[in-house]
Chains A and B, each alone.
Chain A
C-alpha cells in the first residue's frame, strides 16, 4: 500500500488549448502534485461549486513538470463535465485532488531491452510521462499509436525526439492503413523470435484495443502493463465503485483508482470489462 500523500489544491489554470477536434489540453499550477506525481497517475478535477454535475472527473497526467510545479491533462469532450472544462480559461482556479492511483515506478521496470508503448486515440496522453522518463534512462522506446484518421491523432511532437514512432490510421490518412494492433503484431512477431530478453509493453486506449494487445503480447511472450478506465466516483479508494474483475490468483475485483490504473495485464480479466 502506497502512503503517498494526496493533495486537494485550489490551483490556477495556466492555459487551456484546443488540441484538435474535441480534444483539449490544460496546464495547471499545482506544485504539490507536480513534485510528487509518478507517470500514469491521475488527478480528480472538481467542476465547480454546483452539485450538478456532482462528481469530480478523473484524468491521467499527460505532463508532469516538477521543476516548474506544473501538471498537464489532456481530454476529449465526451459529456457534460468535459464540455464544461473545455470552456475554462487561463487564470481561473480549479480544485484538483491528486496525485491518485498507483502510477508507474519506472525505476522498478527492466528497460534493458527497451520499452514499447501502444496507444489508441487520447490513450496516448498518459504515455508521455513514461516515454520521457524511459528516454532519460537511455532506453529504446518504440511507440505504436493508432486512431481512426490523421485528424484523430494527438500531437506526437514531444515523442518524435528520441522515440521510434509507428503510426496507424484506420483510413490510411497517415502511416500504416489499419489497426495499430496489426502494426504491433508484425513488429513483435519479428522481435519475438529470438531468445533474448523482451521489452515491457505498456498500453492505454479503448478496451477492445487493450484486449487485442493482451492477446498479441501473450502469444509472443511480452510482459504487458495496461492503464484502465472505469466509471469512478471518489477516485481515492473509499467508495469501491471502479471495480475491475481480477484474473489469476486473486478472486473478485480490483479498484481501478487505487490498485490501478496500471495493472499487469495477466492480473485482470479484460474479457468481462464493460467498455
Chain B
C-alpha cells in the first residue's frame, strides 16, 4: 500500500501532518512520541519578533472540544531559524514553517527570512489566527487581503506555499480562490472557530483573552464541509484538519477531497495519534484492495 502523497510539490511519506501549534518545534514532542511517524510537521506559528502570548487561563475544555487563546507565543523567527529548525531537521521529516504577521510587508520579510533557511520544505501562511489583535484572522476573512498577503509571500518564496484558512467567514471558497490566484500551491483548512466560555461561579469569561479558538472533535463536521466545498472550488491540494482523532476521521477528510490531513488537538490527548491514524488508513485500504491514497482522495464526491 502506497501512502505517499504530494502537496503542490511537497512529497510526503504518509498523509498525516502535525498541525501548527500542537507540536511546538518538536523538542517536547520527542520525549513522548516519534517525529518520524509524521508525513510532515508544521511548526508553531512564528512571527518576526518574539511574542509572550496571552494571559492565562489559555485553555478551556468544552463538550468534545477545546478552546484555546495561546496568542502565538513564540521566540521569534531568528531563534526559530537559528536554533529550532537545525535541530528538528535531523529527523528527516519535511518541515512546514507556519508564519504569522501583522502586515504584508512583515509577511514578505518573514518569508524571506525562512527562505534563507535550508531546513524549510514549505511555508504555511497563517491568515487565520483568532487570538491576536492585529493581523492573523483579518487577512483570512477578506479575499483581497488574503490575496495580498499570499502574494507578498509568493514573491519571495519559490517553494511549496500553503495558505491556512479560517472557517469564520460567510464563503470560504472565495477566500480559497483568492489565495490560489495569488499563487498558493496548497490550502490548509480549517483553523479554529472563534468561541468563548463563561464561569458561572466568578461570572467572568473563562479565558484570559475572553474569546478563543475552538478545536477538537466538536468542529469536525464544519471542517469536513469546508474541505468538501473548497476542494471542489479550487485545483490545488487541500490539507484537511479539524477534530481528527482516529483513522476513520482522517478517511472522511480524504474522501471529502483532502490530499493530506493534520492532527492537532488529537495530538494533545494522544502523542501516538499519527502512528495510529497512518496504520488505520493502511489497514482500511489493504482490506479493500486499495493500492494508492489517490484512489480515496475525493472518493465521496465521485
User: Known contacts being A54-B61, A97-B32, is A240 close to B56, with CB within 8 Å?
Assistant: no
Q: Is the C-beta of B288 less than 8 angstroms from some C-beta in chain A?
A: no
A275 closest partner in B (C-beta): B57
A3 closest partner in B (C-beta): B31
How far is A3 from B29 in the complex, measured between Cα atoms in Å? 11
Q: Is the C-beta of A232 less than 8 angstroms from some C-beta in chain B?
A: yes
User: Known contacts being A234-B268, A236-B32, A237-B28, is A54 close to B66, with CB within 8 Å?
Assistant: yes
Number of interface residues of B (CB under 8 A): 38
A8–B245 CB distance below 8 A: no
Choose among A55, A238, A253, A272 the residue with the greatest number of B CB atoms under 10 Å from its CB: A238
A1–B27 CB distance below 8 A: yes
- Chain A binding surface, main DSSP class: loop
B216–A251 CB distance below 8 A: no
Choose among A55, A236, A240 the residue with the greatest number of B CB atoms under 10 Å from its CB: A240
Query: B residues 239-298 with Cβ under 8 Å of A?
Result: 245, 265, 267-272
B270–A8 CB distance below 8 A: yes
User: Known contacts being A46-B269, A55-B269, is A244 close to B56, with CB within 8 Å?
Assistant: yes
A245, A258, A272: the one contacting B28 at CB < 8 Å is: A258
Chain A residues within an 8 Å CB radius of B68: 233, 239, 241
- Chain B binding surface, main DSSP class: loop
B70 closest partner in A (C-beta): A240
Q: Is the C-beta of A133 less than 8 angstroms from some C-beta in chain B?
A: no
A239–B268 CB distance below 8 A: yes
Q: Is the C-beta of A94 less than 8 angstroms from some C-beta in chain B?
A: no
B53, B217, B268: the one contacting A243 at CB < 8 Å is: B53
How far is A3 from B53 in the complex, measured between Cα atoms in Å? 25
Number of interface residues of A (CB under 8 A): 37
How far is A52 from B218 in the complex, measured between Cα atoms in Å? 9
Chain A residues within an 8 Å CB radius of B268: 55, 233-234, 238-239
A81 closest partner in B (C-beta): B61
Chain B residues within an 8 Å CB radius of A251: 52
B73–A253 CB distance below 8 A: yes
Q: Is the C-beta of A248 less than 8 angstroms from some C-beta in chain B?
A: no
Q: Is the C-beta of B118 less than 8 angstroms from some C-beta in chain A?
A: no
User: Known contacts being A8-B32, A8-B271, A274-B208, is A240 close to B27, with CB within 8 Å?
Assistant: no
Interface string of B93-118 (1 = CB under 8 A from A): 00000000000000000000000000
How far is A51 from B52 in the complex, measured between Cα atoms in Å? 31
A242–B31 CB distance below 8 A: no
Segment at the interface with A among B2-10, B17-25, B153-161 = B17-25
Q: Is the C-beta of A22 less than 8 angstroms from some C-beta in chain B?
A: no
A238–B61 CB distance below 8 A: no
How far is A237 from B217 in the complex, measured between Cα atoms in Å? 21
Chain B residues within an 8 Å CB radius of A236: 28-29, 31-32, 271
Q: How far is the CB of A230 from chain B (nearest CB, A)?
A: 6
Q: Is the C-beta of B59 less than 8 angstroms from some C-beta in chain A?
A: yes
Query: A residues 218-269 with Cβ under 8 Å of B?
Result: 230-234, 236-245, 251-253, 258
29 contacts between A and B (CB under 8 A): A2-B31, A3-B31, A4-B31, A6-B32, A8-B271, A51-B216, A52-B63, A52-B217, A54-B64, A54-B66, A54-B217, A55-B61, A56-B269, A231-B59, A233-B66, A233-B68, A233-B265, A236-B32, A237-B24, A237-B29, A238-B22, A239-B21, A239-B22, A240-B21, A243-B56, A245-B56, A252-B52, A253-B56, A258-B28
Which residues does A use to contact B, with CB under 8 Å?
1-6, 8, 46, 51-56, 97, 230-234, 236-245, 251-253, 258, 272-274
Which residues does B use to contact A, with CB under 8 Å?
21-24, 27-29, 31-32, 44, 52-61, 63-66, 68, 70, 73, 208, 216-217, 245, 265, 267-272
